[in-house]
Amino acid sequence: MHITFVKKIKADGNPCRKCAEVEARLEASGAMARIDRVVLADERDPDSEGMKLAAEFGVDAAPFFIVNADSGRTIYTSYVKLLKEVLLTPVSEDEEAKDIVAHNDNLDFL
């Protein structure tokens, strides 16, 4: 299995807020060691590899993950899903709930 982490770099050279947050969580949990490659989607360079991958896979927000396995390639836009389904790492109930909100815009009716 090969996991690629695509993170966005803003015009000021810093990662976007969500990318920084996810990277910190990956580091804190030790899961960063299981990421094989980090690719940048650089706002200053539309031809950067990360920007091209986002366009290729139809992803419209950072960060995202590309998982290549024997069974094929899967794109994960949810960090929590990656933890649960790929890295088989326990996820807390509040972290899972936060992820549900973040990836379900239509829950704002609640």
Site string for another protein, 24-53 (x = CB under 8 A): -----------------x-xxxxx--xx--
Give, as ranges, the residues between 72 and 101 that touch another protein (CB under 8 A). Answer: 93-101
Site string for another protein, 2-21 (x = CB under 8 A): ------x-xx----xxxx--
DSSP-derived letter for residue 69 is E
Confirm if 78 and 64 have CB atoms less than 8 A apart: no
Q: Which of 81, 58, 67, 13 is nearest to 36 (CA)?
A: 67
Q: Would you call the peptide bond into 63 cis, given omega within 30 degrees of 0 as the criterion?
A: yes
* Sites of contact with another protein (CB under 8 A): 8, 10-11, 16-19, 41, 43-47, 50-51, 54-55, 59-63, 93-102, 104-110
